[in-house]
Amino acid sequence: MGAEVVIEGLTKSFGKQAIWRDVTLNLPPGEVSVMLGPSGTGKSVFLKSMIGLLKPDKGKCEINGTDIVRCSERKLYETRKLFGVLFQDGALFGSMNLYDNVAFPLREHTKKSETEVRKIVLEKLELTGLSGAEDKLPGEISGGMRKRAGLARALVLDPEIILCDEPDSGLDPVRTAYLSQLLIDLNAQIDATILIVTHNINLARTVPDNIGMLFRKELVMFGPREVLLTSDEPVVEQFLNGRRLGPIGMSEEKDSAQMALEQEQADAGHHDGSTEDLRGIVPQLQPTPGLPERQGAIRRKDRVVQVLHTLPEPAREGIIASLTPEERRHYGIPEPAVTAGGRTQVQGNLPAGDVADLPGSPAWPSAEQSAPTQPLRPRRGGA
């Protein structure tokens, strides 16, 4: 089982510049989480604090019970061996070719023979689509390849926690889709706890079990994916839909004058940058057929059902809709009267009944049984 990460009251500043304060969250073992946030809100700094590369001012970060912030150096190095980290631009060793880069952790930490090392390295390179590029130096390959090589190196020791800093930046959409699938498959195979920092909304909607968001030096929210995906929070809505209208500006915060001006322009018909409302719950990516079921996902169901009553209405409905009838019986949850599971929200003012049903997916069996009458939540505003 993957390691559990408990973060409490973590605060970080550089000199006078506060980056974020009082971040409290819990990465449950074996689950996949995503951290969203506008550029420059300190997501990379957050990852680096989690592995003890940067020292937070306050708070604690416990990995399997070891507080990274305060433990001894020896303990820190021990704990770091549990991690596989993909840095924002790969961070490959420039003087070694890809093969040696990926082999590095194996040679440093294991007593494997060179043939075993070779087998593992080639396997990981193949997994990330880099077969044939073993002899290239990091300076001789594209940014996307560097990224994938960085991932291969992060995976080579079968880590219990995988941290990915923007795995998708510099990758084309197709490779990103493969990468998402790769992460989910990995999670199913080795049950590692995964935290992904990304700007990619599609990845954030389909991959994780939990989503969090950093904004204005705070953790705006962190919780089951359904909560953030159906959130009313203006920041979340703006970020998910990628529009200019809202609290996030070009520099991190917007003043009210700018906000009013933009609202005025938008009301006058000026395009606000977004296309359609991307909020709403979409089916989660599943492991490739043939792989074992994700243990993390099973544990998550138990966990989420227990806190179900504390979640906001739309999220609760979404979660209930995602359970099979057997599971509902198992947990003693009554059949939902109305569900709109399996339906993404579509922009437009169609009467709810006229919105086309998406092709039924097995994850949403109840969608046909009960009359699908209304979307999770009416769209807000006329933006």
Partner 1 sequence: MSSRSATVPGLGMLRETGKLFALGLDISRGLFQRPFQLREFIQQAWFIASVTILPTALVAIPFGAIISLQFGSLASQLGAESYTGAGSVLATVQQAAPLVTALLVAGAGGSAICADIGARTIREEIDAMEVLGVSAVQRLIVPRVLACMLVAVLLNGMVSVIGVLGGYFFNVVLQGGTPGAYLASFSALAQLPDLWVGEIKALIFGFLAAVVASYRGLNPPPGPKGVGDAVNQSVVITFLLLFVVNVVMTLIYLQLVPPKLG
Angle ∠(374,204,164) on CA atoms, nearest 5:
165
- Closest distance between ligand ATP and the C-beta of residue 40, in Å? 5
What distance in Å separates the CA atoms of residue 236 and residue 50, rounded to the nearest whole number?
Answer: 24
Can you say how many angstroms the Cα of residue 344 is from the centroid of all Cα atoms in its chain? 19
- Closest distance between Mg ion and the C-beta of residue 12, in Å? 14
Q: Which does 99 bind (CB under 5 to 8 A by kind): partner 1, ligand ATP, Mg ion, none?
A: none
Closest Cα to residue 142, out of 170, 104, 174? 170
Considering only 78, 232, 302, 335, the residue that binds partner 1 (CB under 8 A) is: 78
Closest to ligand ATP by CB, 219 vs 315, is 219
What distance in Å separates the CA atoms of residue 79 and residue 296, rounded to the nearest whole number?
Answer: 21
Closest to partner 1 by CB, 51 vs 207, is 51
Total number of residues binding Mg ion (CB under 5 A)?
A: 1
Q: Could you say which residues in the range 8-67 bind ligand ATP, by CB under 6 A?
A: 14, 19, 37, 39-45
- Closest distance between ligand ATP and the C-beta of residue 235, in Å? 14
**DSSP assignment letter at 352:** G
What distance in Å separates the CA atoms of residue 27 and residue 228, rounded to the nearest whole number?
Answer: 16
Q: Could you say which residues in the range 13-32 bind partner 1, by CB under 8 A?
A: 15-16
Closest to ligand ATP by CB, 83 vs 239, is 239
C-beta of residue 346 within 8 angstroms of C-beta of residue 314: no
H/E segment holding residue 87: none
Q: Which amino acid is at 41?
A: T
What distance in Å separates the CA atoms of residue 37 and residue 270, rounded to the nearest whole number?
Answer: 25
Q: Which amino acid is at 40?
A: G
Considering only 39, 65, 72, 94, the residue that binds partner 1 (CB under 8 A) is: 94
What distance in Å separates the CA atoms of residue 18 and residue 232, rounded to the nearest whole number?
Answer: 27
- Closest distance between partner 1 and the C-beta of residue 15, in Å? 4
Total number of residues binding ligand ATP (CB under 6 A)?
A: 11
Q: Could you say which residues in the range 99-128 bind partner 1, by CB under 8 A?
A: 104-105, 108-109
Provide the pairing of β-strand 17-27 with 5-14. antiparallel
What distance in Å separates the CA atoms of residue 381 and residue 53, rounded to the nearest whole number?
Answer: 44
Give the bridge partners for 7, in sequence order.
Answer: 25, 61
Name the closest residue to ligand ATP (Cβ).
44
Task: Determine whether 40 is exposed, middle or buried from the number of CB atoms within 10 Å of its CB (0-12, 13-18, 19+).
Answer: exposed
Closest to partner 1 by CB, 151 vs 248, is 151
C-beta of residue 35 within 8 angstroms of C-beta of residue 218: no
C-beta of residue 213 within 8 angstroms of C-beta of residue 37: yes
- Closest distance between Mg ion and the C-beta of residue 42, in Å? 8
Closest to ligand ATP by CB, 124 vs 244, is 244
Site string for Mg ion, 23-62 (x = CB under 5 A): ---------------------x------------------
Site string for ligand ATP, 71-110 (x = CB under 6 A): -----------------x----------------------
Can you say how many angstroms the Cα of residue 44 is from the centroid of all Cα atoms in its chain? 14
Query: CA-based diameter of the chain, in Å?
Result: 69
Q: Which does 37 bind (CB under 5 to 8 A by kind): partner 1, ligand ATP, Mg ion, none?
A: ligand ATP
Per CB under 6 A, residues contacting ligand ATP are 14, 19, 37, 39-45, 88
Per CB under 8 A, residues contacting partner 1 are 15-16, 48, 51, 53, 77-78, 80-81, 83, 85, 87-89, 91-94, 104-105, 108-109, 150, 153
Per CB under 5 A, residues contacting Mg ion are 44
